[in-house]
Chain A
Amino acid sequence: MNGEEKPVRGWGKRFFEPIKKSMAPRIRELRFSFFLMRKSLLAIVGLAIVLVILILAVFAPVLAPVPEGQRDPLYMPRDFQSPKPPGAEGFILGTGHLGVDIYYGIIWGSRTSIYIAVFVVLVASILGIVLGAIAGYYGGAVDELLMRITDIFLSIPGLVLAMAVAAVLSRSLENIMLALIVVWWPPYARIVRGQVLSIKENTYVEAARAVGSKKSRVLFRHVVPNSLAPMLVSATMDLGVVVLVAAGLSYIGFGPPTGTAEWGKMVSDGQQYFLSTVIYDGVEYNPWWMVTFPGLMIFMFVMGFNLLGDGLRDILDPRLRR
């Protein structure tokens, strides 16, 4: 059958050629996806916002250098003076409570947010995928047990559940993330389970079973990869939503201490000045900047991932595809 195919020469080629061949349809798919994405303006805007925030995060040490001798970059530099308006004494976005540099917090806060978003969504989706796939594929008592556990978690509204978990832990960024993981895995497990239930009935899965593949191989090699599309969409959007909820928790007071470069905490730090006036250089100011800037950043961050997720849905949904 493969008569006309030339034998491949050289070790490297012999090694890479089959991979290239087997990857070819996937690469074609990827290219097509990018093509579809380019057509959606909103998805592009979303991608642009996300990229800008990524750049801020990556180049944070350049954009807002950490003062000499300070070990924790998330500790915002401060002068312990009363707040200054934007532009004063070289503080582009002004200073806040304890005289922290708002600009520094905005820049390093993007790192904090990305860290929260990626970590929470990644861990929660791995948990969700594994548990959901096992429940859907094996069925029976395992399925029943796992789904009843998700029932319990889903019967408490997300923010309330996260509050309850965060309440028992000490106040820190890491514990907010832990609380969010507890909240976030059950919906993922549900989505993946539903997908696995329908995918496992396909003939190609039966074929894989028929050639004698191990159960776990069939599941994680053939079923799971094809069940991920809907979860991927919600995971992308959740990258934003996670930051939104984390900011809310941090705002209430579960998060890191005052003066940490986390946008939610920055809003709550600035709140006490918000409806008052400060005097700088003999002029009265109404300190809007401490609350407005970090809030805008949260808004942009969440919006970016929402737009991107929306676009991704159009791309991944086979009904909307060709």
Chain B
Amino acid sequence: MKMGAYIVRRLLLLIPVLLGVSIFIFTLTRVGGDPAAAYISERMNEQQIAAIYERFHLNDPIYVQYWYWLSGILQGDWGYSRVARAPVTTAIQTYFTATFELTLISIFIAVVVGIGLGTVSAVRKDKPVDHATRIMALSGVSLPIFWLALMLQYVFYFQLRWLPVGQRYSTELYLAQGGPMLHHYTGFYFLDCLLNGNFPLFGDALLHLVLPSITLSFGTIAIITRIMRSSMLEVMGLDYIKTARSKGLSERVVIRKHARKNALIPTTTVVGLSFGGLLGGAVLTETIFAWPGLGRWSTAAILQNDWASILGFVLVVAIIYVLVNLVVDLLYAYLDPRVRLG
């Protein structure tokens, strides 16, 4: 099957899934409470309230309401976010880059560290390095992420005073260095500062990234290390590795060029799958580090029963997640010629 046709087919298959997701969360919000509550204030009289019900079609049967809601979504009207005091679509655009910056950097750290540790651990199986790595990997999947965040804050911010905590920059420095004047090329603060040639702010933005990204990547490092170790061990036992060794290739070349390349295939899938975990983890991490992203916005929305925001958040996360999974499948087929798309 051709790649193009496969992508189209997969994208088409996403439509019923996303429709299902939308029905599910729409039902949830209607179970959750009166959706008009977001628009009604104490000072309104009965006629105004009735007008609101009329305007948002809340007197209609639920499937008609769903239809209005869905056509609104498709036309870019995602409702009004009370928490962000802006339309949901605007809020998502604003918060998305912050979350994207954090997740991307975390996944980068996780991939680099995880693949490195996994390889070392497999090559030196049952040596002290291996044991240390495995214990770290085990604790990585067992640590409560919010607790890890608090511990890191305690040590590096409260006790050692090495690293800052909260937001994406230090407010005073941001104002002193003309932060509001910066031109945002990418939405990634540290990159933008660099592109603007503003080095003090660049350093500050980087420092603010350290603790949240370590927190967020810790669990993923563990998962990647584990899968990399086991697939590396599996590959190292195969015949072609013996062949490579008996050809007289150095161990370095055998491991780097022959073994690791094939061991990376299962790892790719896991990286993709752990992306969902990262999006979930971002909710906790952002809340603790006051990182102005989707996660913090959504917790605030949930605690204040801001339904339009919750719906928007879940929908956007679901879309990102299924698209990432599609990319992972494609990448998998690209990396492993034995895999047939179909």
Contacts and interface: CB of A to CB of B under 8 A. Distances in A.
A240 B142 CA distance: 8
Interface residues of A, number: 44
A156 B311 CA distance: 12
Contacts, number: 132
Nearest to A169: B32
Contact of B310 (A148, A159, A167, A288): A167
Given A156-B321, A157-B277, A267 B21 contact: no
A302 B142 contact: yes
Contact of A157 (B20, B138, B276, B305): B276
Nearest to A303: B142
Contacts of B299: 163, 252-253
B24 A244 contact: no
A275 B310 CA distance: 31
B280 A158 contact: yes
A298 B146 CA distance: 11
A137 interface: no
Nearest to A304: B142
B218 to A, nearest CB: 12
A247 B287 CA distance: 15
A167 B83 CA distance: 15
A156 B318 contact: yes
B283 A159 contact: yes
A248 B145 contact: yes
Contact of A163 (B139, B158, B302): B302
Contacts of B31: 168
Secondary structure of the B contact surface, majority rule: helix
B94 interface: no
B284 A158 contact: no
Contacts of B73: none
B14 to A, nearest CB: 8
B339 interface: no
A302 B24 CA distance: 31
A233 B56 CA distance: 49
Secondary structure of the A contact surface, majority rule: helix
B25 A164 contact: yes
A103 B310 CA distance: 37
Interface in B112-154: 138-139, 141-147, 150-151, 153-154
A247 B151 CA distance: 16
A102 to B, nearest CB: 15
B280 A303 contact: no
A291 B150 contact: yes
Contacts of A163: 283, 298-299, 302
B212 interface: no
A224 interface: no
Given A160-B314, A164-B25, A252-B287, A155 B144 contact: no
Contacts of A241: 141
A295 interface: yes
Looking at B31, B141, B313, which has the most chain A CB atoms within 10 Å of its CB?
A: B141
Contacts of A307: 138
B298 to A, nearest CB: 7
B160 interface: no
Nearest to A245: B280
B182 interface: no
Contact of B146 (A164, A251, A292): A251
B279 A295 contact: no
B274 to A, nearest CB: 10
A118 interface: no
A113 to B, nearest CB: 12
B180 interface: no
A264 interface: yes
B157 A155 contact: no
A194 to B, nearest CB: 16
Contacts of A161: 314
Contacts of A288: 154
A267 B149 CA distance: 12
A15 interface: no
A160 B20 contact: no
Looking at A159, A160, A251, A292, which has the most chain B CB atoms within 10 Å of its CB?
A: A160
Nearest to B277: A157
A156 B20 contact: no
B20 A267 contact: no
Given A164-B28, A267-B144, A253 B314 contact: no
Nearest to B148: A295
Given A152-B21, A160-B280, A299-B139, A168 B147 contact: no
Looking at A151, A158, A254, which has the most chain B CB atoms within 10 Å of its CB?
A: A151
14 contacts: A151-B20, A156-B314, A164-B302, A168-B28, A168-B32, A247-B144, A248-B144, A248-B284, A252-B287, A271-B150, A275-B153, A291-B151, A299-B147, A302-B143
Given A163-B283, A167-B302, A295-B150, 16 more contacts: A153-B24, A156-B317, A157-B279, A164-B25, A164-B310, A165-B28, A167-B310, A247-B146, A267-B144, A267-B150, A268-B146, A274-B150, A288-B154, A291-B150, A298-B144, A303-B142
